Amino acid sequence: MTESRSVVITGASRGLGLASAAHLYRQGWQVVAAMRSVDAGMARLRAKTGAGTGDARLTGVTLDLTDPASVAAAAKAVEQAVGAPYALVHNAGISAAGMVEEAPVSLWERMFATNIFGPVALTKALLPSMRAAGRGRIVMVSSAGGVRGMPATAPYSAVKGALERWGESMAGEVAPFGIGVTILVTGTYDTEIITDAGTTDSRVLDGPYARHHHTMDKRGREAMKRAAKAPDRFAGGLAQALESTKPFVRRSVGPDARMLMIANRLLPGAGMHTLTRLMMGIPRFGALGGTPAASMGAPDPNIQESEENG
Ligand SMILES: NC(=O)c1ccc[n+]([C@@H]2O[C@H](COP(=O)([O-])OP(=O)(O)OC[C@H]3O[C@@H](n4cnc5c(N)ncnc54)[C@H](OP(=O)(O)O)[C@@H]3O)[C@@H](O)[C@H]2O)c1
């Protein structure tokens, strides 16, 4: 890299954001690390990079994506620090565990506030300067749930799907101004978001979906932990993605994400449904009809509309 380009990374306090901010700093980028708790997050970043408190290549900016005033103030702080940023990485996010019946509507609201409404507002605030600069890249950190709606995490899947569609729409709009959009379909990495403690857990383990939870815990969540790669490996993928000069890119980071994208291209929707069901150990279609689940007010699976009989 010949000149020091600037990158704004949201959720840089920990997990993939922290690893990415540190990696890009080491590569010579001018990093704006946006986060809710700047003191704690910047202390972690400085410890990881060896950067001093006065280092102009590492700036912390306070950002709570659920608070419109915080988003507006963060956009101003970014422009004060680096002018028009070269890249904006929408990394911050929350996840959810629980069936649609179990997750409260307030969780859906918080999910969309954090993963869509806040990031959209931040993008709107920064786009005028990026457009005027006539170059740049906006990266959306998506997930398996953005490729295909995953059971037991509908709010998360819905928000990642929305993130991808937003990115695709925006790519068509901003490309003429020299700004590219990259959707990074992210595989499994060892951060708090994949743990019970790091997610908003609405599961009712002894309710109508007890059987799903039991097998999904054994197969899905344990397998997830085993498959998880080190966050630094994601950071390398993000760094590569930032080098693209294409107007629109949708690519995977991590082997499991790559396999999912291939399977989703090759198999019809009904096939993906069955594959997901088998991998997660979810009871077959109709298996729970007439059990106490139905009598407890759960929808009768026998009247579910589906072409799928797997
Ligand atoms: N790890 C994986 O396996 C995986 C897989 C696919 C996709 N992803 C995606 O990767 C991204 C990063 O996840 P991660 O694995 O690094 O998870 P993480 O360790 O839980 O980190 C989440 C980050 O988001 C921040 N955040 C949460 N709510 C926020 C808000 N209201 N305003 C500003 N920041 C907020 C957190 O800040 P605080 O420290 O203040 O809480 C934290 O920095 C997410 O978009 C996630 O969906 C991760």
CA of 106 to the centre of ligand 1 (A): 19
List pLDDT tens digits, range 155-207: 999 999 999 999 999 999 999 999 999 999 999 999 999 888 898 989 999 99
Return the minimum-mean-pLDDT range out of 173-182, 222-231, 248-257, 289-298.
Answer: 289-298
pLDDT more than 70, % of the chain:
92
Mean pLDDT for the chain overall = 91
9 in contact with ligand 1, CB cutoff 6 A = no
For residue 262, is pLDDT > 90?
yes
User: Tens of pLDDT along 22-64?
Assistant: 999 999 999 999 999 999 999 999 999 999 999 999 999 999 9
pLDDT exceeds 60 at position 2? no
- State mean pLDDT over 202-225: 84
Catalytic residue among 25, 86, 156, 189: 156
Torsion sign, CA atoms 57, 58, 60, 66: positive
65 ligand 1 Cβ < 6 A: yes
- Rounded CA-CA distance 167/117 in Å is 13
Mean pLDDT, rounded, for 224-248 = 94
Confirm or reject: Cβ of 138 under 6 Å from ligand 1.
no
Cα-to-centroid distance, 12 and ligand 1 (Å): 8
Q: What angle do CA 266, 211, 206 make, to 5 degrees?
A: 140
Q: How many CA atoms lie within 13 A of 280 on its CB side?
A: 18
Average pLDDT for residues 134-146, to the nearest whole number?
Answer: 97
Q: Identify which of 70, 147, 188, 191 to mutate to test ligand 1's pocket (most ligand atoms within 8 A of the CB).
A: 191
Is the pTM of the predicted complex or chain greater than 0.85?
yes
Q: What is the pLDDT of residue 222?
A: 72
Answer yes or no: is pLDDT of 291 > 90: no
Ligand 1 midpoint to CA 176 (Å)? 31
Q: For ligand 1, is residue 143 a contact (CB within 6 Å)? A: yes
Catalytic residue status for 156:
yes
Residue 299 clears pLDDT 50, i.e. is over it = no
Using alpha carbons, select from 159, 144, 45 the residue that is nearest to residue 93. Answer: 159
The response to whether residue 114 sits with its C-beta less than 6 Å from ligand 1 reads: yes
> Which DSSP string do the residues of 146-196 spell out, in sequence order?
HHSPPTTBHHHHHHHHHHHHHHHHHHHHHGGGTEEEEEEEE--BSSGGGSS
Q: Residue 172 Cα, ligand 1 centroid: separation in angstroms? A: 27
Q: Please list the residues that pair with 143 across neighbouring strands.
A: 186
Check residue 225 and give its pLDDT: 78
Class of domain 6-209+230-269: alpha beta
Residue 157 CA to ligand 1 centre (angstroms):
14
Q: Could you tell me which of 92, 88, 91, 167 has the C-alpha nearest to residue 125?
A: 88
Residue pair 122/139 in contact (Cβ under 8 Å)? The answer is no
Whether 64 lines ligand 1, by a CB cut-off of 6 Å, is yes
Q: Tell me if 93 CB under 6 Å of ligand 1.
A: yes
